[in-house]
């Protein structure tokens, strides 16, 4: 299959029945002064994300806002009115422990109902919300809380005892810890959430925050060095809403499920803020991935929009088709995020769901989806799609004199860049102003991702600049090789690195995870090498293939190629938290 010529045109709704409508017309006529969806703003002035997500919907306050599914089978449903009252109580309670406007509230929780109303209550109070992965160990938690100058931590008693209790009082800015699953506590400096809520005011109004006030602080790790604190402001909600309207085709009253972990930026932007701002009913599943459970959720809750990750899609592919008789007729749109989606996964969705997965691209720094495949538009498997209306993207290369120029040639690889100034653009790296400035040049935000653009304006991911393999003078993107290997029916997943070679500089080596029931032997190895050479040519195809039982991943599910390369070179693996690729 050629990823640049194979086009899926059966995409469900016709363009006239989607939020986007005609793509070219939307781009021509789009204006930030009159977007199709926009924040209402606080009565009397100001902008607060919590108001847009909750209070703005109280005219229909009995509408379901949150459907929470416990891992043991329990279910909790909260209306917009109930969620508003809980967030108001939490916001009110923050002031009783000296954590009002401008304070920084960190959460160390899984997918629990408390996380959702506490996050919105934090924003309601004018404080800054920072999610952390619940699987982090003590050192990554402490590093982020120190850098972020945390004032409060929201967590469970178990996580507190195991990972936080021994050191949190050493942090100079910390004022307390809120435990979500105890009725009372005698631990100095700790508070029981239930007691705080009981004393909180259910009518506590939204703080009159301004568009450029800090609202969200997300941490992202590069391959080395300390985590970076990415600063977002309340104005970002404008792009959250617009991108979910266009790229996810969200509509009020529909059932929407985002499977992202709440410790990741997607879990905040599209697992919480955007869907509630657009009036949908949000599904939250506490349990970890289980294929049969996921199909049951999609069927029984009649999910309309499903936003998940390539890793999860590939795991579903390993289990085969949906169960016989599984009725997924309510499901009308499926999208993917987190890392590039291999073409085979897009085609698999079309084959088994009657609709493809729509890949999209963004980063923690962009704050919202920037490039997407849209409902009602043709999907090119392997492409991340086209820029949203209002977003200007380009492929740039550096001239000999060091200045940047746009690449106009179709298919030419360069750095993916965005014209600066969109509403959710990050406003800084916390306490790293010079590093922030280096992200921008000549009015462009430089993403660090290499990509190309075809004649139809679709963008194609090649790889991070430091992931590229340089072999015999050729630049090879790992994603292209991985996608070709995944087309073979024996392969579930693949990860590709450059291995040092005395002649070629680097040679391509692939680590392959096979589908269940298939054993890796020398015959299969030769078969896969031949398959790759036919698809890619001798220069690009891998020279070595290693079979493995699992691939190292970040907490958000991305394959850690750098860790594979370190293992190959016999280098120390180090703390895997510092090896995570930047979240997209």
Q: What is the rounded distance in angstroms from the CA atom of residue 161 to the CA atom of residue 180? A: 13
CA distances from 33 to 212, 239, 289, 340, 583 (A): 17, 13, 42, 32, 30
User: CATH number of the domain that 88 lies in?
Assistant: 3.40.50.12780
Q: DSSP letter for 273, please.
A: I
pLDDT digits (tens, 9 = 90+) for 38-73: 999 999 999 999 999 999 999 999 999 999 999 999
**Parallel, antiparallel, or unpaired for β 281-285 and 64-69?**
parallel
**What contacts 24+ positions apart, CB below 8 Å, involve 170-174?**
171/142, 171/145, 171/146, 173/104, 173/149, 174/145, 174/150
Tokens of 211: 């568009």
CB 179 within 8 A of CB 191: yes
Kindly report, residue by residue over 201-234, the tens digit of the pLDDT. 999 999 999 999 999 999 986 444 578 999 999 9
Q: CA-to-CA distance for 345 and 308, rounded, in angstroms?
A: 12
Give 314-345 pLDDT, tens digit per residue. 889 988 889 999 999 999 999 998 888 989 99
Pairing relation of β-strands 444-453 and 459-464? antiparallel
Instruction: Return the minimum-mean-pLDDT range out of 126-140, 222-236, 264-278, 294-308.
Output: 222-236
In a domain, 376, yes or no: no
In a domain, 444, yes or no: no
Location of structure tokens 């509230």: 105
Residue 134 lies in a domain: yes
Backbone φ and ψ for 513, nearest 5 degrees, come out as -105, 120
Domain membership of residue 563 (yes or no) is yes
> Residues 465-501: pLDDT tens digits?
777 787 766 667 788 888 889 999 999 999 998 888 8
User: What is the pTM for the complete model shown?
Assistant: 0.85
pLDDT surpassing 70 at residue 577: no
> What DSSP designation does 411 have?
T
Is 457 inside any structural domain?
no
For residue 543, being part of any structural domain is answered with yes
Angle of the 343-353 helix axis to the 478-486 helix axis, nearest 10 = 40
75, 69 contact by CB (below 8 A): yes
User: How far is Cα of residue 505 from the mean position of the Cα atoms in its chain?
Assistant: 34
Distance of CA 135 to the CA centre of its chain: 17
Query: Which of 250, 278, 306 is the endpoint of a domain?
Result: 278
| Residue 522 to residue 104: CA distance in whole angstroms | 55
The Cα 115–Cα 85 span in angstroms is 14
Is 65:80 a contact under the CB 8 Å cutoff?
yes
Residue 538 lies in a domain: yes
Cβ atoms of residues 35 and 368 within 8 Å: no
Question: Residue 511 sits in a domain of what CATH number?
Answer: 3.30.300.30
CB neighbour burial string for 120-158, b if at least 16 within 10 angstroms, e if fewer: bbbbbbbbbbbbbbbebeeebbbbbbebbbbbbbbbbbe
Number of domains in the chain: 2
Domain encompassing residue 91: 56-236+263-278
């Amino acid at each position: 299959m050629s990823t640049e010529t194979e086009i899926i045109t059966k995409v469900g709704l016709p363009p006239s029945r989607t939020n986007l409508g005609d793509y070219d017309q939307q781009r021509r006529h789009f204006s930030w002064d009159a977007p199709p969806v926009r924040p209402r703003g606080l009565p009397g002035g100001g902008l607060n994300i919590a108001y847009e997500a909750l209070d703005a919907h109280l005219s229909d306050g009995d509408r379901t806002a949150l459907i929470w599914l416990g891992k043991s089978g329990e279910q909790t449903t909260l209306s917009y009115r109930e969620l508003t009252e809980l967030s108001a109580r939490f916001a009110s309670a923050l002031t009783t422990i000296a954590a009002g406007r401008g304070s920084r509230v960190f959460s160390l929780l899984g997918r629990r109902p408390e996380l959702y109303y506490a996050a919105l209550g934090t924003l309601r109070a004018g404080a800054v919300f920072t999610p952390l992965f619940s699987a982090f160990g003590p050192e990554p938690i402490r590093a982020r809380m120190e850098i972020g100058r945390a004032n409060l931590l929201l967590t469970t008693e178990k996580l507190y005892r195991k990972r936080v209790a021994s050191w949190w009082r050493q942090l100079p800015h910390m004022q307390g810890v809120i435990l979500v699953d105890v009725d009372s506590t005698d631990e100095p400096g700790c508070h029981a959430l239930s007691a705080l809520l009981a004393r909180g005011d259910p009518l506590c109004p939204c703080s009159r925050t301004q568009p450029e006030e800090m609202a969200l602080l997300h941490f992202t790790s590069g391959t080395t060095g300390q985590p970076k604190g990415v600063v977002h402001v309340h104005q970002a909600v404008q792009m959250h809403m617009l991108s979910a309207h266009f790229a996810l085709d969200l509509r009020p009253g529909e059932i929407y499920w985002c499977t992202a972990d709440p410790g990741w930026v997607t879990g905040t932007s599209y697992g919480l803020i955007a869907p509630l701002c657009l009036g949908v009913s949000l599904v939250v599943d506490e349990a970890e991935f289980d294929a049969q459970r996921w199909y049951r959720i999609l069927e029984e809750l009649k999910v309309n929009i499903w936003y998940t990750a390539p890793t999860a899609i590939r795991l579903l592919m390993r289990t085969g088709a949906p169960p016989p008789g599984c009725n997924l007729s309510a499901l009308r749109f499926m999208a993917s995020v987190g890392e590039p989606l291999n073409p085979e996964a897009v085609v698999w969705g079309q084959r088994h769901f009657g609709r493809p997965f729509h890949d999209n691209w963004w980063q923690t720094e962009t704050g919202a989806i920037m490039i997407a495949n849209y409902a009602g538009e043709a999907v090119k498997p392997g492409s991340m799609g086209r820029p949203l209306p209002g977003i200007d993207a380009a492929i740039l290369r550096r001239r000999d004199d060091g200045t940047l120029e746009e690449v106009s040639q179709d298919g030419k690889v360069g750095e993916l860049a965005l014209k600066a100034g969109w509403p959710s653009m990050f406003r800084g790296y916390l306490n790293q102003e010079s590093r922030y400035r280096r992200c921008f040049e000549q009015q462009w935000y430089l993403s660090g991702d290499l990509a190309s653009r075809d004649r139809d304006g679709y963008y194609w991911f090649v790889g991070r600049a430091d992931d590229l393999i340089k072999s015999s003078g050729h630049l090879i993107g790992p994603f292209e090789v991985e996608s070709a290997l995944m087309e073979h029916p024996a392969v579930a997943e693949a990860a590709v690195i450059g291995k040092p070679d005395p002649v070629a500089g680097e040679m391509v080596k692939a680590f392959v995870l096979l589908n269940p029931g298939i054993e890796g032997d020398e015959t299969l190895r030769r078969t896969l090498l031949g398959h790759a050479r036919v698809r890619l040519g001798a220069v690009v195809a891998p020279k070595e293939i290693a079979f493995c039982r699992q691939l190292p991943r970040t907490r958000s599910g991305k394959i850690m190629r750098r860790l594979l390369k370190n293992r190959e070179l016999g280098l120390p693996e180090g703390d895997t938290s510092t090896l995570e690729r930047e979240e997209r």
